[in-house]
Structure 1
C-alpha cells in the first residue's frame, strides 16, 4: 500500500530479443548473425516468433511470415523454438524479481510488471532496483533486459522500449506531462490501427492534440474508451500490478475499413490473425484446445463460433486448420463482416481423449 498522495514505483522489465538471445547464448555459432526463431528453416512456412537484432536490421520482425523474412535476408539462420529452455530461463528471471517484490504481473515469458513501492530489501529507489535486476540477469543468465521505471504501468511499459537493447529509462512525475504530450497516438494503450486512423483524420497526431479535447468530446468521438484516453493522456493510469494473474484465453482481432462480404475474402485475414495469435501464444508459453472465431457484423451484432480439439495446440497451422472448419460451417449468408477475431482458450490440464472434433 502507498501512503495517500504518494506515487507508486512501477518497473516494466522486457527481455531483449528473448528467444533469439537464448539461442545465441547457448550456441556460439549463432552469435553476431541474423537469427530467426520460428518458421521453417527453408522459409517455406510459419511465423517469426523472435528475430535477433542482427536480423532486425534487415526489417525482419515478430509475426512476419518466415517466407518474407527469408526474402528480406537470404542468409538468415532459422531455428525452431525450444520452449523448455525459454521457460527455464523465465523461471530464473522471476526468481530474481522475487528478491525485491512479490507484486509481479507476468505478461509473457520475457516481460513483467513489478510494483516496488515497498520493496523487500528496503532499497527505496526503483531505479536502483531496476539496475540491480538488470545486472543480475546479465551476470547469472548472460542475457540483457531493458527496463522502464515510472509511477504507473502505461508509462513504465513505454519507457522500457525507448532505449533497447539493454536500456533503462526513468520517466518521473516532473517529466510525465511533457512525455505524454509528445507521444504519438499509436503508442497510447488501447489505440489500434482503426482508432489511430480516425484520430489522424481529425487532426489528432500526438498526446498534446488529444489533450485539447474535453472528456465529453473524447467519449462522443471514441465511445467508452474515450474516457480512458482522456485520463491516460494526462498520465493517469490507476491499474494495479496484478500478481498471480491467470490467463483464461488469448485472442487477436482486427477491424476492417471495408466490410468483408465473402468467405473467400475473410480467409486471408483469418490466416493473418492465426499467425499473430500463434506468435502471442508462443511468447506466453501456452497451449490450448479450444479455437474461437469472432465475427462482428455491419450492424455491430456479434457472433462467435468455437471448435474443441483433442490435442493441445499453439502453432499457426493447427490454429488455421480449426479456423477453416469454423469458417466453413458458419452461417454468413447476406452478412457484412467489419471485424474478425481468433482466440485460443481451455488452457487447463483436463486432458479429455476426444476422438472427434466437436463444433459448439
Structure 2
C-alpha cells in the first residue's frame, strides 16, 4: 500500500482551548453555592429581552436551549437559577485563563473571550512533556485555579485544532492527527468546518457537498464557481492545508485586541416599534453605545450592520454595509444604521418590530493611517470633539447623564443604560 503523503506543516503542535459553557461556568465558579444547580445567564425580563444567553451543563441536561425565552426555560426546568450577565467578570476570567496559557507558550491567539489557540511547536521541549500530557495539565489547572472546565483540540493546524475542541465536550481532549483526520474530520457534516455557515452550507448542499470530506475531494473549479475565493480557502481547510500562524495579541504593536471581532448592542424594546420616531430613538441609543465602546477600544470600524426582529412572527434578519472610511463617530454610525433600516422596513403599524441590533466590525487601530477623502465631511472634527466631550461627561457622571435629541423621542428608553449590557463578539479568523 502506498504511504499517504503527510500534510504540509504536520510538524506543528497547535492547541485550541475552549472554556465550556463559559458565562454560566464563570457564574458558578464565582458563586460556589450555584455549582451543580441548573443555571442560565439571561436578559432582563421586565424589559422584554428575557432570553437564555448561556446555560450550565445541568440546565442543558434539562433541555434548556440558548436563545429561548426564559419562561420556556423555566417550564422545562423547575428550580432554574437565572442570573444577569456580568461582562466585566467574564473578561476577568478570560485574562486569568490566558495567564495560564502564557506559562506554556507566548504564542497565544484569543478567539473571543472563551477560546484561544496556542502554538506549542517550539515550547514542548522546554515544558518537558508531550502534547497530550501538556493538554491534560492545562485542563487540570483550569479546573483547580479557575473552577472552569475546558475542551482542548490538538492538531498541526488551527482549523483542525478548533474542530478537535468541538468534537467532544465538556472537559475533553481530542487529537486530530495526520493518521486519523480522514476518519474523524472528513465524516463530519460540512457545517462543522470553521466558517461554513448556514448560507454556505446551503450552497454546498445544492452541489451535492454535505460532509467535510466532500469539500476536501471537490474540484477547485466547482468550489470557486459556487463560493468564489472562499471555496479554495475552505478546500484547503478541509484538507488540513491551513498554515496560518497563531498570532499573539500585542498592544505595543498597535494591534486590535484579538479577543474582539466586533462591537454590538441589541435590545428587545419595551414596546413594539411601529413608528419611524421609535425606531430612530432605538437606533441612536444602540449606536451611542457601540461608538463609545469603539473609542474606548481605540479602534474604528469599516462595516456597520443592523439586526432586525419582527414583532409578528419573530423572524430575524440582518443587513450590513461597508464604509469608504472607517469610523467611530456616533453620528456616522447611527446615520448608517438608520439608512439600512429605512431601506428595508416600512416602519409603520403594518410590520411592527420587536428588537433591533447595531454592530460595528472590520476593526482597525485608531492610529492606523487613513486614505484622505476629497469629499471629507467638514464637520468630522467637530463631531469627533463632541463625542470626546460626551465620553468625558459619561465617565464622570454615568452613561445616561447626556442623551441626544433623537433618543428622547421614546420616553420608555430614557432610563436604559445600554452600554452596561454590551455584547462582545469573537474575533474573525482572517
TM-score under structure 2 length normalisation:
0.61
2:359 aligns with 343
The residue aligned with 2:93 is: 89
User: Match for 1:174 among 179, 199, 211?
Assistant: 179
Given that residues 10 and 156 in structure 2 are in contact (C-alpha distance below 8 angstroms), is that contact kept between their aligned partners in structure 1? Answer: no
Please, what is the CA RMSD of the aligned residues? 4.2
| TM-aligned CA distance change 1:147 to 1:43, over 3 Å | farther
The gaps in structure 1 that reach 5 residues or longer are 253-262, 296-300, 311-318, 334-339
Match of 2:41 among 37, 40, 52: 37
Match of 1:243 in 2: 248
Q: Which residue of 2 aligns with 1:256?
A: none
Question: Is the Cα–Cα contact under 8 Å of residues 147 and 169 in structure 1 kept in the other structure?
Answer: yes
Per the alignment, do residues 143 and 155 of structure 1 end up closer, same or farther by CA in structure 2, a change over 3 Å counting?
A: same
Q: 2:233: which partner in 1?
A: 228
Distance 1:106 1:118 in 2: 19
- Between stretches 61-70 and 228-237, larger displacement belongs to 61-70
Contact 1:10–1:126, Cα closer than 8 Å, also in 2: no
Q: Are residue 145 (structure 1) and residue 155 (structure 2) matched?
A: no
Q: Partners of 2:193 and 2:239 in 1: how far apart?
A: 11
Aligned partners of 1:294 and 1:303 also within 8 Å: no
* Match of residue 166 from structure 2: 161
Partner of 1:13, secondary structure, is: strand
Give runs of aligned pairs for residues 129-140 of structure 1, distance below 5 A.
129-140=134-145
Quick one: structure 1 residues 211 and 89, their matched pair in 2 at CA, closer, same or farther if it must change by over 3 Å?
closer
3-state SS of paired residue (2:52)? coil
* Distance in 1 of aligned mates of 2:141 and 2:342: 52
**What is the DSSP-based 3-state SS (H/G/I as helix, E as strand, rest coil) of the residue aligned with 1:49?**
strand
- Out of 336, 343, 353, the position equivalent to 2:389 is 353
Task: Give the gaps of 5 or more residues in structure 2.
Answer: 1-7, 250-254, 265-274, 308-318, 347-355, 367-383, 391-401, 407-430
Give TM-score, length-normalised by structure 1: 0.71
Give the secondary-structure state (helix, strand or coil) at the position aligned to 1:169.
strand
Secondary structure of the 1:12 match is strand
SS in 1 for 2:128: coil
Task: Tell which deviates more after alignment, 68-77 or 145-154.
Answer: 68-77
| Cα distance in structure 2, aligned partners of 1:228 and 1:347 | 23
Distance 1:158 1:341, change over 3 A: farther
Aligned twin of 2:105 = 101
What residue number does 1:292 align with?
Answer: 304
Residue 220 of structure 1 and its aligned partner are, at CA, apart by 1.5
Seen in structure 2, the aligned counterparts of structure 1 residues 215 and 17 have a Cα distance that, compared at 3 Å, is: same
- Match of residue 83, structure 2, among 75, 79, 96: 79
**How far, CA to CA, are the matches of 2:364 and 2:69 in structure 1?**
26
Contact in 2 for aligned 1:36/1:48 (Cα 8 Å):
yes
2:335, 2:63 → 1: CA distance?
Answer: 31
- What are the superposed Cα offsets for residues 102-145 of structure 1, whole Å, 9 maximum, x if unpaired? 00001122211000001163425222211111111122222211
Q: Which residue is equivalent to 1:123?
A: 128
TM alignment of 1:180-329, pairs within 5 A: 180-244=185-249, 246-247=256-257, 249-250=261-262, 292-293=304-305, 303-304=321-322, 308-309=329-330, 325-327=338-340, 329=342
Structure 1 stretch 61-70 or stretch 196-205: which is displaced more?
61-70
